[in-house]
Chains A and B, each alone.
Chain A
Amino acid sequence: MRPAFSVLFLTTLIGAGQGLLIAMVTGQIFVTLGGGPEVSGGFFAGGGLLALILLGLGLVASMFHLANPQRGWRAASRWRTSWLSREVILIPLLCGLVLLYALAHLLSLREVSLVLGLLSLLVCLALFVCTGMIYACVRFIRQWASAWTVVNYLMMGLASGFTLAAGYAGLAGSALAGFLTAAALALTLAALAARLTQLWLNARGTARSCMKTAIGTHHTQIRQITQGFMGQSFNTQEFFTPGGAEAIRGLTLLFILAGFVAPLGLIVLGVPVVAFVIQFVGLMAERWVFFAAGEHVQNLYYQAKA
């Protein structure tokens, strides 16, 4: 599939935003349960607002993906059947909750903020599931159609969000820095493991359809002479990857290094802000590879020009 930059930005930005918010809320729970020293409400409010900015930027990026964004509101109508529709509903809902969460902290309403925090935590998790399922439910791309897609969207969002939270806590001199740094390390490691698992599984999988079923002819040797036109079409542009296998291999190496290995080292070295920036670039590359490596069944019909 051709990676669309609007979607790469959308998914990585809101992923980091959700991860950051979850980091804030779990931090608050950690403190409330007596696991750490008192942390000011301003710290959580700031984190919430930062998450809100990321979510907002993601929303802006998503608008660039639509050819008719002025009708975007219609996308909320089919939540019964469409994961995309569910995502469209949850993002603004989450934005609203995060805003209230930050406000509650600013007004020092501790109990209210905890309730709002828990609510937004649930919505964050649901949103991760929706975003992942948008891709995981596309049966015709075998590289996407598995639970690992959802797991990876969740884990990478958490990893980048907690790394950002660790950086923010360090800058703000918050007492939570230690807790968040440890969590960022653990989550980045777990995300790497999950992503490597999916890479491994995808390399071993086999396609379900072949030329035989595509044109319904029971012959062992079928090749396309022509796809029916000499130029391009939506089918040859949207479903094929510029750069091909070589670009995918190169960027896979890049995202493993920049998205996971380097951030791990940089967090250990105590520069989590730099770690986040590099990790974000790495995760953009990861998303690019995720799209580019998806082989759609329809490609069987577009193999030759004559």
Chain B
Amino acid sequence: MPKKQLALVIDLNVCVGCHACVTSCKEWNTSGWAGPLSDVNPYGADPTGVFFNRVQTFECGTFPDTETIHFPKSCLHCEEPPCVPVCPTGASYKREADGIVLVDYDKCIGCKYCSWSCPYGAREFDPGQGVMKKCTLCVDRIYDMTLPEDRRKPACVLACPSSARIFGDINDPNSDTSKAIRDNGGFQLMPEWGTRPSNHYLPRRKTTMTVHRDELVRVDNPLKVEGELPRPAFTTPTIDGASSW
């Protein structure tokens, strides 16, 4: 069996763009033992800050034939992460055990070179600590045995009100993530770079139903009179010969 690779599957068909994952991510990760996600000038005119997760919005087509796509974006924990080998200190690494790509904040010198080697813009530099940061898949809670089992998930997954985020091992064919990818046409971002992102996205899906004309008109109503049908007498013969009511 291939190695374990934890990842998120994000359903673009369900995401409503509420930013609940953004705020819950920030709250969890800024309060952790690894130090805050610094904000600069948070209440001023030109605020900046570190986030692991952003929800963006795109529009396809021209008005009025448009479609809105809410698009959550975080580190995709690539299976061939181009950000890792370029790091001169070894601070950026991919875990053997579960495939999570992490930054060791005690080793990072803040050269920012890794961020240049991520095509997705998933890494954000923390000017407060002077180190590079990115999504950790909430590595500090998914293995926390003091939490009940159903709470051992990334904060964003727990927060999503529309269940657009699925968490699991994409290399285990029976996981929820694998099934979702398989059954719903899961895809990867920018496959042209060969990064093999672990996070997958599920496409927008149209739910349609064909209704034929005769399904709209009652066939047992030849006089086109709407209303309650006349109740036949108890003894009237019927098709199945059992009862007339």
Contact = CB atoms under 8 A, between A and B. Distances in A.
A211 interface: yes
A234 B115 contact: yes
B24 interface: no
- Which has the most chain B C-beta neighbours within 10 Å: A140, A211, A216, A298? A216
Contacts of B121: 235, 239, 296, 298-299, 301-302
Contact of B89 (A65, A71, A137, A138): A71
Nearest to A85: B88
A250 to B, nearest CB: 25
Contacts of B188: 216
B134 to A, nearest CB: 10
A209 B119 contact: yes
A233 interface: yes
Given A81-B86, A216-B188, A225 B116 contact: no
Nearest to B127: A67
A306 interface: yes
Contacts of A84: 86, 88, 111, 113
- Which has the most chain B C-beta neighbours within 10 Å: A74, A76, A81? A74
Interface string A230-253: 011111011100000000000000
A142 to B, nearest CB: 11
A222 B59 CA distance: 6
By size class, the interface of chain B is 35 or more
Nearest to B105: A68
A229 B73 CA distance: 13
Contacts of B68: 225
B85 interface: yes
A66 B125 CA distance: 12
Interface string A269-300: 00000000000000000000000000011110
Interface in B96-114: 107-113
A302 B118 CA distance: 14
Given A209-B192, A227-B56, A302-B121, A66 B111 contact: yes
B120 A298 contact: yes
A299 B120 CA distance: 9
A96 interface: no
A265 interface: no
Interface residues of A, number: 58
Contacts of A222: 58-60
Interface string A186-215: 000000000000000000000011010111
B119 A297 contact: yes
Contacts of B116: 1, 138, 140-141, 296
Given A138-B117, A213-B192, A226 B56 contact: yes
B88 A82 contact: yes
A301 B60 contact: no
B174 interface: no
Contact of B109 (A69, A224, A228, A229): A69
B14 interface: no
Contacts of B141: none
Interface stretch (B43-51, B164-172, B213-221, B232-240): B43-51
Contacts of B109: 66-69, 71-72, 74-75
Nearest to B60: A219
A156 interface: no
A229 B51 CA distance: 10
Nearest to B65: A221
B184 interface: no
Nearest to A301: B121
Nearest to A225: B57
Contacts of A141: 116
B191 A213 contact: yes
B117 A215 contact: no
Top 8 closest A-B pairs, CB basis? Answer: A67-B110, A67-B130, A298-B121, A85-B88, A81-B85, A228-B54, A75-B88, A219-B60
30 contacts: A67-B125, A68-B110, A74-B109, A75-B89, A75-B111, A77-B89, A78-B90, A81-B85, A84-B88, A139-B82, A140-B118, A209-B193, A211-B58, A214-B189, A215-B69, A216-B201, A217-B60, A217-B203, A217-B204, A219-B67, A223-B58, A227-B54, A227-B56, A228-B73, A233-B50, A234-B50, A235-B124, A296-B116, A297-B119, A299-B121
Interface of A: 1, 65-69, 71-72, 74-78, 81-85, 88, 134, 137-141, 208-209, 211, 213-217, 219, 221-229, 231-235, 237-239, 296-299, 301-302, 306
Given A139-B117, A214-B189, 19 more contacts: A67-B130, A76-B88, A78-B87, A139-B119, A209-B119, A213-B189, A213-B190, A215-B201, A216-B188, A216-B189, A217-B204, A224-B57, A227-B56, A232-B48, A234-B50, A297-B190, A298-B118, A301-B56, A306-B57
